Every structure is written in structure tokens, then in C-alpha cells.
Amino acid sequence: MTTEKSKILVIGGTGYIGKFIVEGSAKSGHQTFALVREASLSDPAKGKMVQSFKDLGVTILNGDLSDKESLVKAIQHVDVVISTVGLSQLMNQLNIISAIKESGKHIKRFLPSEFGNDVDRTLATGPAKSEFAMKAEVRRAVEAEGVPYTYVINNCFDGYFLATLAQCETRLTSPPRDKVTIYGDGNAKAILNKEEDIAAYTMRAVDDPRTLNKTVYINPPKNIVSQNDVVALWESKIGKTLEKTYVSEEELLKKIPQSPHPLDLLLALNHAIFVKGDQTWFTIEPSFGVEASQLYPDVKYTSVDEYLSQFV
């Protein structure tokens, strides 16, 4: 195992998962750089976040995905590039790939913006399928250019899916205490992970030769649960039975195209994850993947049970 920690550049660090990746990188002792757009600095909330990065010792570099020169310059500082850009910027990651090639720097690893379901093994439909197709296209470009990579599959973010009992379209910040919508029969198994744990596993993977040119799945055993499991666990914690409305697959598939964006995407994700079992239907083969909690048993992850306890 490498003893010296890689220098890391995070692109998209002021986004949802990006913030956790930047913090995780800095806190785990990596010299960390964050590429930030000028516009983000003038946004009060993002400006505050950038200041918190600086307080952790992160170097802020001004730049933009559409500005190749700023990308090439930023890449020259580091060994590893992690992209956490959002949906609207996914295809702009092709610029990162060409900047890596152009920089002349031997980049040890590129982690494109994945942080969700495995897009090469998906049963998704509609807008979720379209988003996943873009991520798959970026993967193919990475591979075609011979850029060393790791794809991190963390499945569901707890903050979106667990804190809402999978009602992420409601924008709840804590689990409902009266009623809940169950997708399909509620029995499909999903995988739900806390954002700080995702960052911790990602940081362990960046310098690990076992994860080079592989997909890293964050599938800790205690976090593989169905929607019914999660609801029952929550009911036992609050000592109350929730009123349940079941939405059949047929109803959900009708609702997706009739819904405005981003609701259509959230419903399509719910269909893929909680009806089709998109995260758990396949076996991880050593030829393409490794499982993070097996590789790093010393990482103390937060279980679904522990996560829900904070809301009681």
C-alpha cells in the first residue's frame, strides 16, 4: 500500500456530495484543492462553504469546466481528480478527460461524478435512465482515453432517501410521523449510506491499488434494506404505526412523464431503486468490482438504525 497520500483536486466541491468529499479529503490528510467558479464565491451560502474549506486547509482554485486552461492548470497541482458535478454538468466532464490528457501530468486516478447507482447495470427508465446514460458515456470516454479510474457507487444518500423514508420528492428534513408512500410492494432491497461515510470510503479507495480501474460499491451489510424494513424500523422507534399508501409500479410509471422536472427524475429514481431493486439485483464480480466495507472493515459506518435514531 502507498504510504504517501495523493494530492486531490475536487471539481464540483460546493455541490451536495462534493462538500462531503472536499471535507473528507482534507480531514484524512490529503493535500486538497477545490476548483470553484467565480459565481459560486458571490453566492452567500457557497461563499460560506468555500470559507469553511479554507479553514480546513483546502486550496481554492478559480476555474470552470468550460475553461480548459483553468482545468489544465488545476490538474497540474495534483495526482488524483475527483468530479462531483451535478446533472447539468455531467457531459462537461469530457473536458476534464481532455484536460487530464493535455496537462502532461501523470494523473494516478480520475473519479468521475458517479455517487449513485451503477449505470452499467441499471434497470432504470425515463429521466433516471437518461441521467445514467450520460454517466455511462463519460465512463466509456475515460476508458477509451486510457485514464486510470475508480467509479464509486454509493447507492442512496441518507440525507435524501433515509431522512425522508424515500419520500425525497417531499423535501422533508426528518422522517414523516403520520403517513408514508410505499413504492411497489415495498420489498425491493436498496442500499442507504451516510454522506460522511461515502467520503471516508472514497478517500480510502483513491490510493488503493485494489480499486484501480474498478468499480467500488459501498454496500455495508446493515444498510441493505427495503422500504418496508425502514418504515417498520422507524415505527418501532416512534412507537406509532404510519398510514401507508401503496403506489403500484403501473401508477408510478404513469406519473413519471406527467410530472414536472425535477419531480419526474425523483420518481424515476424511486421506481428504479424501490420497485426494481436497481442497486441489489446483480452480484459484484471481482472482474469489475470490489465492495468497500469488505476492503476497509476498520471504517466505522453509520447503520440505517443508528441514522434514524437521531430523529427520535
135 with 278: CB under 8 angstroms? Answer: no
pLDDT for 3 equals 66
Catalytic residue positions, numbered: 135
What pTM was estimated for this model as a whole?
0.97
Best CA proximity match to 192, nearest among 280, 82, 113: 280
pLDDT for 2 equals 47
Tens of pLDDT, residues 103-125: 987 899 999 999 999 999 999 99
Mean pLDDT of the region 23-46: 94
pLDDT for 41 equals 85
Is the pLDDT at 168 greater than 50? The verdict is yes
Count CA atoms within 13 Å of residue 273 on its CB side.
29
Give the C-alpha separation, 166 to 85, whole Å: 23
- Domains in the chain: boundaries: 8-154+195-218+282-296
Cell of 214: 474498478
Tens of pLDDT, residues 232-289: 999 999 999 999 999 999 999 999 999 999 999 999 999 999 999 999 999 999 999 9
Best CA proximity match to 152, nearest among 32, 18, 57: 18
To the nearest whole number, what is the mean pLDDT of the chain? 96
Domain 8-154+195-218+282-296 has CATH 3.40.50.720: yes
